[in-house]
Amino acid sequence: MKLFPLEFSLRLRLAMMFAAASSAMLGGIGVYLADSLYRSMIARDVEEMAGKVELVRNVIAKAATPESLKRDSHLLDQALVGHPHLHLSVESLGGVVYASSPLQIPAELRGNVFRHDQVPWRVERWTSPQGATYHFVMAEYRDRAGANRATITVAADFSEEMETLRTFRRNVIAGGAVGIVLSAILGWFIAGRGLAPLRSMADAVRQITVSRLDQRIDLAHVPAELRELAGSFNQMLAHLEEAFRRLSDFSSDLAHEMRTPVNTLLVQSQVALSKSRSPETYREILESGVEELERLSAMISDMLFLAQAEDARAALKKEPIELAPEFERIAEFYGLAAEERGISVESAGNAIVMADRLMLERALGNLLSNALRHAAPDSVVRLTAESSAGQVVVGVRNTGDRIPPDELGRVFDRFYRADKSRQRASGGTGLGLAIVQSIMELHGGTVRVESSEERGTVFSLLFPVAATARSR
């Protein structure tokens, strides 16, 4: 069960919680004060009655007999001087020897009598039929021989104190109610002041637009409790800014990449229609147009794959795949293209990975196609597989031109081409390596590239141990 409805504002919630806490605190203080006052009243009565009991015991001890005590009753009267609210009675075996008033304590309450060697340390409470409240003690007197015995009863009218206590409780309740209202109002203003940094953050966030994604919340003026939230928001803005920049670059690159084949088709069509031509010429123009359309179709297909990569994670059909036979099929498929440039494709090593077969074939095909385009003529492209550090590493190596170090981090960007080894003339859509990266992310792995004059260029697919070791 929730304490407050969801539609309550945070400020109102804080004010109500502040009021609830204040009411609990004021209520606890009120109960404590009322109980302390009552206990102090009882302690005062106990002390007063215990003194009267000891005084009466001394008077009785001086009297030889109950008759002499009756004759000296003025001594007992003197014990009550200045205490009009007290009642005193002395009873012996022969009946009541002395009584300062006609007050009679009910017989059923006469069981708790303090012995002659005890000092009364507590009082009993009794409410008369008339509604008056009394505190009383009953104590025993006995001489040394044990021949003379008496019961001393001291009672005090506690009605005035009870009324004082009730008045105090009413005042505490009234003051507590006023205090709760004031604490709620105070909590409202304190919550408003405490939430001011949130309003400042909201104002700063409102200033952030698509054209101002570089704006950030200044953490120097944010309270410590909100600093983590503000830092996370700044991190999110940084991701959004980067994603928006990449999206803008992708849109620009996409328009540039698609403009070239479209313009080529348009110019060829306009030239073909400008005058009558021979069937052979029309055939050449159509063949050239088909090449551009195929390139455009491949580009659109790759773009759709990248756009659907996130949804493809749930549709992956992983199975244990042995890499050596896959290398042979890929090498055979690209064998004709390799022979045209005098390049041989070799494979070495073997391992088993858990992967989607079609996506694995596409990743290997993209890497091998890329390697054949940029490998030096009459060289060797090698496909390797090995288990290392709890993972399977699949490598594609060629000995073409080295990729500059400052461009290694961008080779997986969409439509990115290095100045020398990734020119448009070499073919491709500029999306092959980006697709490889997306496929490895879907499988929970990574792809990396290394390039040097001595070793050439190596693209490596790293499959995690969870996707390899269990499959063996």
199 part of a folded domain:
no
Q: What is the pLDDT of residues 430-451, one digit of tens each?
A: 777 888 888 888 888 899 988 8
Residue 180, in any domain of the structure: no
Do 130 and 20 lie in a common domain?
yes
Residues 238, 299: one domain?
yes
Rounded to whole angstroms, the Cα distance separating 89 from 98 reads: 5
**Domain closes at, from 285, 307, 329:** 307
What's the longest Cα–Cα distance across the chain? 161
Token pair listed for 267: 């110019």
Looking at the structure, tell me whether residues 292 and 371 fall in a common domain: no
Q: Which of 124, 145, 166 is the endpoint of a domain?
A: 166
Say if 427 falls within a structural domain: yes
What pLDDT sits at residue 311?
A: 57
The average pLDDT across 123-132 equals: 86
Q: How far from the centroid of its chain's Cα atoms is residue 181's Cα?
A: 32
Indicate whether 248 and 149 sit together in one domain.
no
The pLDDT of residue 315 is above 50: yes
Higher pLDDT, 427 or 456: 456
How confident is the model at residue 27, as a pLDDT?
Answer: 86
Question: What pLDDT, in 10s, does the model give residues 54-67?
Answer: 888 888 887 767 67
Residue 394 belongs to domain with CATH number: 3.30.565.10
Highest mean pLDDT among 369-373, 392-396, 462-466: 392-396
Q: How confident is the model at residue 91 (pLDDT cuts 50, 70, 90)?
A: confident
387 within domain boundaries = yes
pLDDT at 422: 43
Is there a single domain that holds both residue 298 and residue 320?
no
Q: What does DSSP assign to residue 21?
A: H
Q: Are residues 448 and 385 in the same domain?
A: yes
The answer to which of 21-30, 340-349, 393-402, 414-423 has the lowest mean pLDDT is 414-423
25 CB contacts (<8 Å, ≥6 apart)?
none
Q: Is 4 within a domain?
A: no
- Token representation of residue 78: 């003197």
Mean predicted confidence (pLDDT) in 260-272: 80
Same domain for 339 and 387, yes or no, is yes
**Percent of the chain topping pLDDT 70:** 87
**Rounded distance, CA 60 to CA 128, Å?**
29
Q: Is residue 242 part of a domain?
A: yes
In terms of domains, do 254 and 373 share one?
no
CATH of the domain at 104: 3.30.450
Residues 319 and 446 grouped into a single domain? yes
Are 107 and 28 found together in one domain? yes
Task: Look up residue 97 and give its two tokens.
Answer: 């020897």
Count of domains forming the chain: 3
What CATH number does the domain containing 234 carry?
A: 1.10.287
Any domain includes 212: no
Least confidently predicted of 49-63, 90-104, 455-469 = 455-469
Q: Are residues 283 and 324 in the same domain?
A: no
Last residue of a domain, one of 252, 279, 307: 307
Confidence of residue 383 (pLDDT cuts 50, 70, 90): very high
State both tokens at 121.
């340390």
CA dist., res. 432 & res. 201, Å (int): 43
- Confirm whether 202 is domain-assigned: no
Separation between Cα atoms, residue 194 and residue 461, nearest integer Å: 52
User: CA 71 to CA 331: how far, in whole Å?
Assistant: 136
Range of the domain at 276: 219-307
Q: Are residues 321 and 392 located together in one domain of the fold?
A: yes
| In the predicted structure, residue 378 carries a pLDDT above the cut 50 | yes
Q: Determine the pLDDT at residue 58.
A: 85
Residues in the chain: 472
On average, the pLDDT of the chain sits at: 81
330-339, 385-394, 429-438, 453-462: which range is least confident on average? 429-438
CA–CA–CA angle 271, 272, 273 (5° rounding): 90
> In sequence order, what are the beta bridge partners of 381?
345
Lowest mean pLDDT among 122-126, 324-328, 427-431: 427-431
